[in-house]
A and B are shown apart, each in its own frame.
Chain A
Amino acid sequence: MLRLIKNFFIVFGNIFRKPHTIIYPRERIIIPDGSRGVLHLKVDPDSLEIICKGCGLCKIICSQGCITVQKRAEDKGREVLDEFCLDLSKCIFCGNCVEFCKMNAIDMSYKYQLAEFDKKNLKLEKTELVKPSGTIRDFW
């Protein structure tokens, strides 16, 4: 009974308090540090080349099998990444691939606003994964 009366006044006071709501498309929410979003292919800041050499370790380690990597040998035996495709519809954002990468060539961005009408659009190619938007925290 006492609890009921206490609740009554709390609820009554709530009418005059400011709502907690974040006005979604306009306002910003700071998502927790270290939360995992879409994969991001790192780029060497000096040579502007993709660090990934296409060794294929992430392809082996990924439990969902959503990464496809292909490498191609250039002249002088140098190995270059040819194709890097991420199927977002399979990815569970576990972060295994980032942990196991020997070259430190990939990391997790904070990008999480993902929704597509067409399932084909969820397959991300190399050119989209390189885009540097993800390294800083992605606000609204």
Chain B
Amino acid sequence: MSFLIKSNFNILVTGFGCCKQEIFATQCSLYDIQRFGVNFVSVPEDADILVVQGFYNKKGIIRILNIYDRMKNPKGIIAVGSCVLNENLFNPGSELVSQFRNRVIINMHIPGCPPRPEAFIYAILKFLGISMQ
């Protein structure tokens, strides 16, 4: 099972942030994340890990929790960017993200605003336990 996850790792990206651009840059030919068997999917049942980034409104938080419930075990969450790690950059004082953080367990934190694509790949590799030489 762990071998399967290691060699075919499916990612679902949610949120409306600017970090999304940097995350999707990893699909392109310069940083080809598919080399490690990592795929970007669009169905929660298919995904191994949920990437949370950017801003959310009230409905967005409910929807993302729904998505997390629909995912199959084993599952995890990667939080990207200071919007999720700290607070919404463009709406400080909004409690939504902190509510979200209290409801779920976040497995991996990537700081930055936005983090570089390499940092994202680094986090994925660290998550999968692929050694870095």
Contacts and interface: CB of A to CB of B under 8 A. Distances in A.
B123 A89 contact: no
Majority DSSP secondary structure for residues of A touching B: loop
Range, interface on chain B: 20 to 34
Range, interface on chain A: 20 to 34
Contacts of A24: 31, 35, 118, 121, 125
A98 interface: no
Contacts of A11: none
A117 interface: yes
Given A24-B118, A112-B115, A114-B112, A90 B82 contact: yes
20 contacts: A20-B30, A21-B29, A21-B30, A24-B121, A25-B132, A25-B133, A88-B111, A93-B113, A112-B118, A113-B118, A113-B119, A113-B122, A114-B112, A114-B122, A115-B126, A117-B108, A118-B109, A119-B109, A122-B109, A122-B111
Interface of A: 19-26, 29, 31, 64, 88-94, 112-119, 122, 140
